[in-house]
Homo-oligomer: A and B are copies of this chain.
Amino acid sequence: MTTEPQQFASDNYAGACPEALEAMLAANAGSAVAYGDDGWTQRASDSFRTLFETDCEIFFVFNGTAANSLALASLCQSYHSVICSSAAHVETDECGAPEFFSNGSKLLLAPSADGKLTPEAIRTLAGSRSDIHFPKPRVVTITQPTETGQVYSVAEVRAISAVCRELGLKLHMDGARFAHACAALGCTPAAITWEAGVDVLCFGGTKNGLMVGEAVIFFDRALAEDFDYRCKQAGQLASKMRFLSAPWIGLIESGAWLRNAEHGNACAERLAARVADLPAVQLLFPVQANSVFLVAPDAVLDELRARGWRFYTFIGGGARFMFAWDADPARVDQLAADIRAACEVRALA
């Protein structure tokens, strides 16, 4: 198969990073006990405990849909509800997975321009109804960084967890790009999670450089009771578990988890900087993580497509670019140059 030139439509377009790959190949040697009772899985779990500086409970599942849906289902009964942003991935892009895994838990949506939840929005939604004709709020989920690339500060997460505790709600963090948030904040993983009041984190591996796999991390071990049974029943227990767990060893122990994220973030900044002077192109959101949302005229976007670029568009008109661990700076520059050229072509038209 021939390989296409690199695209930035999604950070899922990237392959696995060398550190993850090397660990996976190492794990491939010889036979290992199935279903997670192997040394690789033990070591990967310990790596997470070291990284998070706490004795957390870790489960390795296949993808983010399952990680978030199973975590939410474990915090809810079917007649409970989950408070999230109207832009949350669990609402907009999971085909009803949270409702499926929980057997009916409803998502309560806080309208949000940039995808962030606020303590006020949580309070309003949690207090809007208290009768049995409406599902009882039990969990808040925030995406860190948000689907628009916005990063919650430690103070923001702390403020949210405070209102959660006050209202008897659990706090879940969808960290599909958690490493990018850590890189952006320059803080420890502990500081932005359990130290700030997060109960459960879904740490995204795929967008961080793995081939496949996410980790569900319970900081309150009591909440993890029987979660292994939940994973098994829901088709999320890998038989050859070492292949899901070992690559995390490569990622975490080498520091690649953070380097990969820093690189993605830097490429996003690089693109943004290179098109900042173009009047026809605006940033829809500040660039804080590894994505750039550009508002641009249709003609510009058409020209970009004509030049071979792939990207997702969004309502209102614009293009999203996402940068993974493997983004080639030269190719980022080429994209910037093509955007500039597309604006000029359009100006002439």
Contact = CB atoms under 8 A, between A and B. Distances in A.
Interface string A138-170: 000000000000000000000000000000000
Label chain A's interface by main secondary structure.
loop
A314 interface: no
A105 B6 CA distance: 37
Interface string A5-30: 01101101111100001001111111
Contact of A236 (B32, B232, B235, B240): B235
Interface in A110-157: 132-136
A329 interface: no
A240 B24 CA distance: 16
B15 A33 contact: no
Contacts of A34: 10, 12-13
A51 interface: no
A9 B242 CA distance: 16
A96 B69 contact: no
B43 A29 contact: no
Nearest to A103: B103
A81 interface: yes
15 contacts: A1-B27, A3-B29, A4-B32, A12-B35, A12-B239, A15-B32, A62-B238, A63-B238, A79-B96, A79-B100, A93-B134, A103-B104, A104-B233, A206-B239, A212-B212
Contacts of A93: 133-134
B12 A30 contact: no
A57 to B, nearest CB: 14
A21 B25 CA distance: 9
A210 to B, nearest CB: 8
A228 B132 contact: yes
Contacts of A28: 15-16, 21, 211
Contact of A6 (B25, B31, B133, B238): B31
Interface residues of A, number: 79
- Copies of this chain present in the complex amount to 4
A5 B39 CA distance: 14
Contacts of A105: 96, 99
A243 interface: yes
A30 B10 contact: no
Contact of A95 (B29, B94, B99, B132): B132
A235 B104 contact: no
A62 B213 CA distance: 10
A240 to B, nearest CB: 6
B100 A96 contact: no
Contact of A31 (B4, B29, B80, B92): B4
Given A79-B95, A96-B81, A237 B134 contact: no
A177 interface: no
A65 interface: yes
A108 to B, nearest CB: 11
A335 B125 CA distance: 34
A136 B100 contact: no
Given A62-B62, A101-B235, A229 B95 contact: yes
